[in-house]
Amino acid sequence: MLEFWNTILFSLSVTGPIFILLALGAWLRQRQSLNDAFIEVGSRLVFTWALPALLFVSIAKTHIDATTNFQLIAYGLVAMSILFVLTEILAHFTVQPPEDRGVVVQSIFRSNMAIIGLAYCVNAYGEVALVAASLYVGILSILFNILGVITLSRSLHKQQGIGGILRNIVSNPLIIAIVLALPFAWWDVRPPELLMKAGKTLADMTLPLALLCTGASLDFHTLKQEMNKTLLATFSKLVLIPVLFTAGGWWFGFRGMDLGILLLMSSAPTAAASYVMARAMGGNATLAANTVVLTTLGSLLTTSLGVMVLQSRGLM
C-alpha cells in the first residue's frame, strides 16, 4: 500500500504543475484577462514555432548508435499504427457529428510522451531511461503528427483527397522540425550552440503557453453536452490503449525497462499538442481541451495502477 501511495505522489508531482497551469488559464479567461484573440495567437505560436523548437532541440541532441533499441521503436510504430486504425473504426461507429471524429481519434492515440512520458520513465529508471526513450519519443512523434493530420483532414476536409492530406503532412511544422533534427542525431553532429540556445529558449515556452491556452479554452457547458465523446476518448486513452499496447509488448518478449517504457509512454495523458493541432486545423478545440484535462487527471490513477501490476509480476 505504501508503494502504491508513493507512486500516486510521484504521478501527482509530474501532473500537478500541469493542472495548475490549466486551472490558471481557465481562471484568467473567467476574469477576462485572456480572450479569444490571445488563445488564437498563442495556439498558433505554439504550433508553428515553440513546439517544433522543442522537438528539434530534443532530437538533435540525441545520439543514434548501435545501442539504440530499434526493436522497441519498430514495435511502437507498428502497434500504434494498428491501434490508430482500430480507433478510426471505433470513432466511425460511435462519434457524431463526423467532424468531431478526428479530434476524438487524435485524443485517444496521441500521448504526452515528450513531457509526462519522459518524466515517468526517468523517475522509474533514472537517467538511463532518458537515453533509451528520447529517440523513441522523437520517432513516434513523427507518426503521431502524420496520423493527426490524416484523421483531422479526413473528418474536416474530405474533399481534399490524398494530395491535400499529403500537402498538410509535408507542411506540418512539427514534422518539418523532426525531419530536420534527425540527421544531427544520426551523425551525432550538434547544431551551432547559438542555435541550440535560442531553440531551447523558444522551446521552454511551449508547455506553459499551450496549457494556458488549453485551460482558457475549457467550456464546462460544452463538456456536459459532449460528455459521451469526452468519456469515450478518456477511457480509450487511459485504459484501452495502455492495456493493448503493453500486452502486445509483453507478448513480443519485451521485459524490464523496455516493457516499462511502453507502459509509461502509452499511459501518459493526451498531449496538449492535440488541442493545438485541432484548433490550428479548424477542429473542435473545446472537445480536445476537455479531453486533455480529463486524461491528465485520470492518468494519476491509471498509470499508478499499471505500474503496480507490472511490478507485482516482476515484469517492470
Gap between the Cα atoms of 235 and 172, Å rounded = 29
Return the domain boundaries, the chain. Answer: 2-312
Q: Peptide bond preceding 17: is omega within 30 degrees of 0, i.e. cis?
A: no
Angle at which helix 285-312 crosses helix 256-267, to 10 degrees, equals: 150
Identify the pLDDT of residue 136: 87
pLDDT beneath 70: ranges in the chain:
1-4, 7-8, 10-12, 14-15, 66-67, 127, 130-131, 158-161, 164
Identify the pLDDT of residue 109: 92
Question: Which one of 1.20.1530.20, 3.40.50.720, 3.40.50.2300, 3.40.225.10 gives the CATH number of domain 2-312?
Answer: 1.20.1530.20
Angle at which helix 256-267 crosses helix 70-94, to 10 degrees, equals: 30
Identify the pLDDT of residue 28: 94
Q: In a 10 Å sphere around its CB, with 0-12 CB exposed, 13-18 middle and 19+ buried, how is residue 118 labelled?
A: buried
Identify the pLDDT of residue 230: 93
